[in-house]
Amino acid sequence: MHKSRVAIHLIAVTGLRFSEAMGVDLTDIDRDNKLIHITKTYKVYGKSKGYAPTKNPSSLRDVPISQETIKLLDEYIATFRPVQRIIEGLSNTAANKALKRLVGRDVHVHSLRYTYVSYLISQGVELFAISKLIGHKDLNTTLSVYAHLLEESKQENNGRVRNIFGAELGKNIAENP
């Protein structure tokens, strides 16, 4: 089990920023409620290496995780026995190289965050909920970054509206003015 693969998995299924994923420590995993508490970041490079606050106050959040992710983290923890932070000694560059090897093309770990949001949108998760999950400061930030994905679902939503006001409801309105 490679730490880069665990980091990639964690970011892919949570939409965490790289520094947030590096800041997750043993106390942040809430197995009972299947959550990861995001309370800090960890800078893995430069003179300011170490724990740091989140990007903004909205980045303080709880992110749901699956039982499979908990199992993967538990196996990783049992293997590497971290003292505090779960994933130590991994740079963004190393994670990007591992992701490139994994998918076979030049892609960056931050792309997993976009993929996470894109997938949630495609699955019909409310945009307000997504905005909270990824720690945006407000819904406008989410809208400005992901507006193109919402445009793609326009036809599907138009169909939903037609169905709501079609058939029985439309017939009832027409018959009972």
Domains and CATH numbers, the chain: 3-157 (1.10.443.10)
Length of the chain in terms of residues written: 177
Single-letter amino acid, residue 170: G
Report how far residue 50's alpha carbon sits from residue 20's, in angstroms, rounded to the nearest whole number: 12
Model confidence over 12-38: pLDDT tens digits?
Answer: 999 999 999 999 999 999 999 999 999
Q: Given this model, what pLDDT does residue 177 score?
A: 60
pLDDT confidence bin for 92, thresholds 50/70/90? very high
Residue matched to tokens 């949630």: 120
Q: According to the model, what pLDDT value does residue 18 have?
A: 97
Q: At what angle do helices 110-122 and 139-152 cross, to 10 degrees?
A: 60
Query: Contact at 8 Å (CB) between 27 and 5?
Result: no
Specify the pLDDT at position 90. Answer: 93
Question: Is the pTM for the entire model greater than 0.75?
Answer: yes
Is residue 87's pLDDT more than 90?
A: yes
Q: According to the model, what pLDDT value does residue 39 have? A: 97
pLDDT at 162: 84
pLDDT tens by residue, 108-157: 999 999 999 999 988 889 999 999 999 999 899 888 888 877 777 777 78
Question: Average pLDDT for residues 38-45, to the nearest whole number?
Answer: 93
- The continuous run of DSSP H or E covering 142 comes out as helix 139-152
Q: What is the overall mean pLDDT for the chain?
A: 90
Identify the pLDDT of residue 96.
95
- Exposed, middle or buried: residue 146 (CB in 10 Å: 0-12, 13-18, 19+)? buried
Q: How far apart are CA 96 and CA 4, in angstroms?
A: 9
